[in-house]
C-alpha cells in the first residue's frame, strides 16, 4: 500500500491506504476543514473534542446521504419493476 503524507490541524501524518494520494489528501483537507469549523465556533474546546464533534457531524452527513441514496434506489427499483411489467 502506498504511503501518503497529510496534515490535519498542522500536524503531519503519514498514512497508508488504497486510495490515490490526491484523494487521500482531499479527504484529509475535508476533515481538517470540519475540525476547524468546530474550533471556530467553540474556540475554548480541545482539538480532540473538536475532532470528535467533527467526526459526529461527518457521520451524521453520511447517514443522511445513505438514507437518501437508499430511498432513490428503492424508487428506481419500483419504477423499473413497473416498466418491466408493461412488457410481460
Residue 2: the pLDDT is: 87
Task: For 30-86, write each residue's pLDDT tens digit.
Answer: 999 999 999 999 999 999 999 999 999 999 999 999 999 999 999 999 999 999 988
Domain count along the chain: 1
Closest CA to 4 of 23, 21, 26: 21
**Extended strands (E) in the chain:** 3-8, 11-16
Closest CA to 25 of 7, 39, 49, 38: 7
Structural domain that includes position 21: 3-86
Q: Name the pTM for this structure.
A: 0.82
Task: For 10-34, write each residue's pLDDT tens digit.
Answer: 999 999 989 999 999 999 999 999 9
Residue 36: the pLDDT is: 98
Amino acid at each position: 500500500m502506498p504511503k501518503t503524507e497529510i496534515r490535519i490541524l498542522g500536524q503531519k501524518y503519514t498514512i497508508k491506504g488504497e486510495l490515490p494520494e490526491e484523494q487521500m489528501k482531499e479527504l484529509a483537507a475535508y476533515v481538517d476543514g470540519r475540525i476547524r469549523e468546530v474550533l471556530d465556533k467553540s474556540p475554548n474546546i480541545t482539538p480532540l473534542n473538536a475532532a470528535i464533534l467533527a467526526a459526529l457531524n461527518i457521520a451524521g452527513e453520511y447517514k443522511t446521504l445513505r438514507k437518501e441514496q437508499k430511498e432513490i434506489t428503492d424508487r428506481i427499483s419500483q419504477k423499473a419493476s413497473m416498466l418491466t411489467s408493461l412488457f410481460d
